[in-house]
Structure formats: structure tokens, C-alpha cells
């Protein structure tokens, strides 16, 4: 069991994902006792065991799904009759809790101008890990944007070579123009990012879409983008725009509706 706890510590330190599967109830004859654990990685490898056999195979499948959809699972299995679909013949019942272990959500701000700085500041205050990227090194450093955890002074199209973008990553493009977006969005659309938002007017976004299509980017991938970015708040200042953007990110992350609470 010590190796599982050590592995959990390494997963947290490296901002990686896994699923912890724990036997939480056992009645009658079952393969393992309450408290038995198995840690499943995204690639299917695992540490520990909750009993082996078909039971363990089914739980590993659920663990993979939990990593993908970020939702825990409380599983119940009878262990009596395989002809009815049971995963064993021991005769007892077992319950397993599957808990996704996920990296802290990260906001990557691409474009460190006035709005980008405000987004980085607010995202950090809200508890996100924050990274800032800008191809202009003088804009992408701790002195200019003090609220970030990491800085990537590289062109947008090279960003994925420097930072791992996961399902817990939220990309905020507060860049200086459509030409920058068109040049760098392609690789970002190939990632698993939970959110990709692009600042600018509808007209600016249409210009970007036109350029992306000319590069062969599909409609399906383009449809992932939130642009104009944020919720409609009539925001004007960089700080107000940051609130609009982070509100949309929280809505996506928490599966909210964006409606006024009194309308619920």
C-alpha cells in the first residue's frame, strides 16, 4: 500500500492524472477486504489490486472513464452468477469507489497585454495554476505579469512543445490580432484542452476562421472555440473583461448555464 501513496504523491507533484479505486463495502465471500486499493493510470497500467479477474477488469474500465469525464463512481457488483453478468462466483457483494485524481486546473493566458494580465491575476485569485505565453519576451516574465506560475516566451504555434495541455487546461487567447491567432491556433485545436477562448469581435473571429479553413482546419475543430470570448456583461475595462472570461470558464468547468440565479 505504501507504493500507492508514494505514487499518489508523485502524481500530484507532476500534475498528472490517475484513478484511485477503493473497496468500500464487502459482504459475504469476496476477493478482497474493505480498504483494498488499486491505482489506475491513463495508459491502463496500475498499482495494487482489488481482487483480480473480471471484477478488476471492469473497475479498470470505469477508472479510465473517470479520468476522461472527471467524475467519481460508486460501483456495486454481485459475485454470484456470471450467466447473469456478475464478474465472479464467490457469492458475496462488493462496492468500489473510483476517485479520479486530476491535476489542478490550469489557465494558460496567451497574449500578455492589459487583458491578459488581468486574466492571469483573477485566475490566480480563483485558485487556478496560471501560465503566461507571449512571443514577445519583454511581455512574458515575472516582472511584467507577477501572478503566473510559469512563463513561455514562444510563438503560439510552438507552445504545445513546451507545456502539456490536458483536459484540465483552459486556454485564453488575448492576443494582439487575428494574424497571430490564425498562425498559432492549429496546434492548440489538436489538444485535449477543456476550453479555448479567443478575444476579439465577431468580425475578427470570422477573419481567423477564414484563415484556419485555408490551412485545412476542420469545422469540427473550429467549433471548439469560444469567440467572442466570455459571457455578455457589457464589460469594457481589462478587469471587467477578465471577469467575463473567467465566468465563462467557470461555467464550462462546473457545467453551469450562465443564467441569472433568479431564473433557475
pLDDT in tens, 95-107: 999 999 998 899 9
Beta bridge partners of residue 73, listed in sequence order? 98
Per-residue pLDDT at 82: 58
- Distance (Å, whole) CA 175 – CA 112: 7
Q: Using one digit for the tens of pLDDT, what is the confidence trace for 2-51?
A: 699 999 999 988 888 999 999 998 876 666 788 999 999 999 999 999 88
- Distance (Å, whole) CA 73 – CA 90: 23
Per-residue pLDDT at 97: 96
Secondary structure (H, E, C), 65-84: HHHHHCCCEEEEEECCCHHH
Note the CATH architecture for domain 106-259. 3-Layer(aba) Sandwich (3.40)
Mean confidence (pLDDT) of the chain: 91
Listed by start position, the domains of the chain span 2-101, 106-259
Closest by CA to 197, choosing from 68, 107, 113, is 107
Per-residue pLDDT at 53: 79
Closest by CA to 163, choosing from 152, 171, 173, is 152
Q: Using one digit for the tens of pLDDT, what is the confidence trace for 222-255?
A: 999 999 999 999 999 999 999 999 999 999 999 8
- What's the pLDDT band for 176 if we cut at 50, 70, 90? very high
Dihedral angle sign, alpha carbons of residues 97, 166, 208, 235 = positive
- What's the pLDDT band for 88 if we cut at 50, 70, 90? low
Amino acid at each position: 500500500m505504501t507504493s500507492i501513496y508514494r505514487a499518489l504523491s508523485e502524481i500530484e507533484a507532476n500534475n498528472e492524472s490517475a484513478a484511485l479505486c477503493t473497496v468500500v463495502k464487502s459482504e459475504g465471500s469476496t476477493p478482497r477486504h474493505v480498504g483494498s486499493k488499486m491505482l489506475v493510470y491513463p495508459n491502463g497500467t496500475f498499482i495494487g489490486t482489488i481482487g483480480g479477474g473480471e471484477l478488476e477488469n471492469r473497475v479498470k474500465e470505469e477508472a479510465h472513464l473517470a479520468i476522461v469525464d472527471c467524475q467519481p463512481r460508486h460501483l456495486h457488483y454481485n459475485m454470484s452468477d456470471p450467466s447473469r453478468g456478475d464478474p465472479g462466483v464467490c457469492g458475496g457483494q462488493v462496492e468500489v469507489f473510483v476517485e479520479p485524481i486530476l491535476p489542478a486546473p490550469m489557465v494558460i493566458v496567451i497574449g500578455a497585454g492589459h487583458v491578459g494580465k488581468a486574466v492571469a491575476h483573477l485566475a490566480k485569485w480563483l485558485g487556478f495554476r496560471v501560465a503566461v505565453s507571449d512571443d514577445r519576451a519583454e511581455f512574458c516574465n515575472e516582472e511584467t505579469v507577477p501572478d503566473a506560475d510559469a512563463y513561455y516566451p514562444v510563438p503560439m504555434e510552438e507552445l504545445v512543445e513546451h507545456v502539456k495541455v490536458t483536459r484540465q487546461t483552459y486556454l485564453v487567447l488575448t492576443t494582439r490580432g487575428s494574424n497571430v491567432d490564425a498562425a498559432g491556433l492549429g496546434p492548440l485545436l489538436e489538444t485535449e484542452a477543456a476550453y479555448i477562448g479567443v478575444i476579439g469581435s465577431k468580425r475578427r473571429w470570422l477573419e481567423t476562421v477564414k484563415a484556419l479553413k485555408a490551412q485545412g482546419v476542420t469545422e469540427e475543430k473550429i467549433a471548439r472555440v469560444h469567440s467572442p470570448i466570455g459571457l455578455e456583461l457589457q464589460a469594457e475595462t481589462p478587469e471587467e473583461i477578465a471577469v467575463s472570461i473567467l465566468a465563462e470558464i467557470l461555467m464550462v468547468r462546473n457545467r453551469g448555464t450562465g443564467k441569472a440565479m433568479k431564473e433557475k
